[in-house]
Amino acid sequence: MKILVTGGAGFIGSNFVHYLIDNTDHTVTVLDKLTYAGNRASLDGLPADRFAFVQGDIADAPLVDRLFADHDAVVHYAAESHNDNSLDDPAPFVQTNLVGTFTLLEAAREHGTRFHHISTDEVYGDLELDDPARFTDSTPYNPSSPYSSTKAGSDLLVRAWVRSFGVQATISNCSNNYGPYQHVEKFIPRQITNVLRGERPKLYGTGENVRDWIHADDHSSAVLSILQEGRIGETYLIGADGEKNNKQVVELILTELGQPADAYDLVTDRPGHDLRYAIDSSKLRSELGWTPRYADFTSGLAATIRWYRDHEDWWGPQKQATEDRYKAQGQ
Ligand SMILES: NC(=O)c1ccc[n+]([C@@H]2O[C@H](COP(=O)([O-])OP(=O)(O)OC[C@H]3O[C@@H](n4cnc5c(N)ncnc54)[C@H](O)[C@@H]3O)[C@@H](O)[C@H]2O)c1
């Protein structure tokens, strides 16, 4: 297949592109606008006979139309993805996550292209810390932030385009990812790179918020299964039973890097910060036989810490500007 990957210069998209090149015979084109979150260097070294890069906007209808005409399938990762930024300025979130997804769906409808839409468990809102429930594909949508509400809206557009126009689409909602090539503004890379630079990690509030962590490679293998074998119109939740609170994650990072486990600072919590996310991925596991490779969060985290230690050339240029931005927001 010829697969078009939108947002392939971002964190999860670039991991998916490497996964496809390493584990399949498909050829891949990345369409990416290279916003501050995109990094062309994350795609360095890929074979020229199987990989092409196009810099452009998913809301550019003529460009999207040309690319869809030339590809068998599209996996749609491109998004404005950072909650904190969405609280500061929601406009790009509405433009890319809603108008951009609409533009792609219209092209999928025109060309009959197989379309897989990448989304997040944040569309379901949050759970109480002591609630034993986990999200399933029938959990009602209840997003909290401009980020999660625009992702929720994009999921609903996909469902409507399947039902109204017969678009051949599937959706996946995944829990929080960690792994190589993640921007240093995000929680785990920010803490790792702070410690590597001799600075103390910053923990929001009291650090009790729980996230259900999954390694980006496991997200990629799940997406590939859905693309190949998923039922059209279905939503699959992707998760690896990796629930940890933020305090536990920071303590693990400090310990792995040889620091005292309590060598961190508390900073003001983000407004509306979701308490807990937890994914029930049994539909994906039973229907498609998917299982994660990194069932153990600690070993996946250790591999990620090694990657950041060995790739300061990749993250170093982003670090100062990111910390300056957090400082301006009082964090
Ligand atoms: N990071 C997570 O833990 C997580 C979890 C579940 C789902 N997701 C979803 O996965 C997708 C990718 O997330 P990520 O963390 O890799 O994000 P990211 O911010 O690292 O990457 C997004 C990429 O999209 C590109 N992009 C942004 N606007 C664009 C536009 N208008 N046209 C073309 N390209 C554009 C950026 O340049 C960047 O390369 C998103 O849809 C996100 O909602 C992320």
Is there an atom of ligand 1 within 6 Å of 120 CB? yes
Tell which one of 4, 5, 6, 11 to mutate to probe ligand 1, the residue whose CB is within 8 A of the most ligand atoms.
Answer: 11
pLDDT of 329 higher than 80: no
What's the pLDDT tens digit per position in 37-84?
Answer: 999 999 999 999 999 999 999 999 999 999 999 999 999 999 999 988
Q: Does the domain made of 2-178+215-238 have the CATH classification 1.10.3720.10?
A: no
What are the sequence ranges of the domains in the chain? 2-178+215-238
In angstroms, the CA 96 to CA 98 distance is 6
Contacts of 315 (CB under 8 A, 6+ apart): 184, 189, 193, 308
Residues facing 6 on adjacent strands: 31, 76
Residue of minimum CA distance from atom 43 in ligand 1: 119
- So what's the pLDDT on residue 117? 98
Residue count (the chain): 331
Is there an atom of ligand 1 within 6 Å of 35 CB? yes
Residue 112 DSSP class = T
- Note if 264 is an active site residue: no
What's the pLDDT tens digit per position in 258-275?
Answer: 999 999 999 887 777 788
Global pTM value: 0.95
Query: Rounded to the nearest whole angstrom, what is the distance from the C-alpha of residue 129 to the centroid of ligand 1?
Result: 27
Catalytic residue, chosen from 124, 147, 181, 294, is: 147
- So what's the pLDDT on residue 144? 93
Are 242 and 201 within 8 A, CB to CB?
Answer: no
- So what's the pLDDT on residue 67? 98
**Weakest-pLDDT range from 151-165, 220-234, 264-278, 283-297:** 264-278
Tell me the mean pLDDT in the region 157-164. 98
